[in-house]
Homo-oligomer: A and B are copies of this chain.
């Protein structure tokens, strides 16, 4: 048995001007720098001693290892070399953040930190094979496989090379972070493979430069973590991996005091975006869409039924991944279709 969770819906404030992809950080912000290594990463979103403190307005420049701890480097390497999934950089303590606040994370820049990415298939994990949470009887599991993806930063592309034929093809980079989150609520600690209300392994391409992510603050200091860089990824991350890469990241933090969102939210100059992070996909959609309706109602003043109707005409719904322990859907609407924001 449990009681109802009470949510205080939050009227977004976008505490700095919403930014486009190229907007520079404020000139005088203090910058904290941090370098991830295999002996300082974490594997859990939870309470742990902070690796650094930042004040609201400060900028963080930090690196992350790839989701395999950079262990897969060349043909012949196998999963057995991987010491843990999704090593996280952090946690970073945001001074002044208290439960009930919202942490706004402005993603200023993401750069692939290396010359190659990795893709893997592991039996038991994926959207359309027998898995831990959707098991089926089978005569023999599919085999483990590893693909390497050279990164061409000049052309802004990476290249798929088939393993069972000689086909290869290049496609554009879209760098983003698979993992980004804070310490969960209710004293929980969650594996870095899990996405949920606190963010986590959302595998959302929306976690890219130019977007701001809002997360609920659940513990003093919020305790910010990130990792699992992706150079590019298809919708749903169906076979279970993106083009997995180490990353160099630049963030700026701000606090919205006394306001608390139930679920992660994104914003940029053009769109507002609400995430639903649960299973099945149907429920992730229900969460994302009701959150977006509540957001429009609270901040832009449409009635809930008018907002519902408008979304039925112009909403976008993005299935970011259907392979992790929870699934992630982002529902969004362009600001040009909304009334002016309420003060």
Contacts and interface: CB of A to CB of B under 8 A. Distances in A.
A137 B128 contact: yes
Interface in A193-227: 193, 201, 203
A162 B303 contact: yes
Interface string A329-343: 001000011110000
A16 interface: no
A234 B314 contact: yes
A312 B242 contact: yes
B283 A133 contact: yes
Interface string A306-343: 10111111111101001110010001000011110000
B123 A4 contact: yes
A286 B136 contact: yes
Given A5-B132, A309-B239, A279 B278 contact: yes
Interface stretch (A32-40, A49-57, A97-105, A139-147): A139-147
A289 interface: yes
A127 interface: yes
A306 B86 contact: no
Interface in A274-308: 278-283, 285-287, 289-290, 293, 301-306, 308
Contacts of A301: 165, 167
Contacts of A128: 135-137, 286, 289-290, 293, 308
- Range, interface on chain A: 35 or more
Highest count of chain B CB atoms <10 Å: which of A3, A79, A86, A304:
A3
Interface in A13-60: 43-44, 46
Highest count of chain B CB atoms <10 Å: which of A82, A303, A309:
A309
Contact of A238 (B44, B306, B312): B312
Contacts of A193: 2
B122 A322 contact: no
A124 interface: yes
Contacts of A233: 312-313
A138 B138 CA distance: 7
Given A186-B44, A238-B308, A281 B285 contact: yes
Given A164-B306, A188-B189, A313 B242 contact: yes
A127 B285 contact: yes
A244 interface: yes
A215 B137 CA distance: 23
Given A164-B302, A188-B44, A278-B133, A67 B236 contact: no
Contacts of A339: 165, 167
A129 B137 contact: yes
B314 A186 contact: no
A334 to B, nearest CB: 9
In the complex, the 8 A-B pairs of residues with the closest C-beta atoms, listed nearest first: A4-B124, A2-B193, A239-B312, A164-B303, A234-B315, A4-B122, A235-B317, A281-B281
5 contacts: A1-B228, A2-B193, A3-B120, A4-B79, A137-B308
Given A1-B201, A2-B67, A137-B293, 7 more contacts: A129-B136, A164-B303, A234-B315, A234-B317, A236-B331, A278-B279, A281-B282
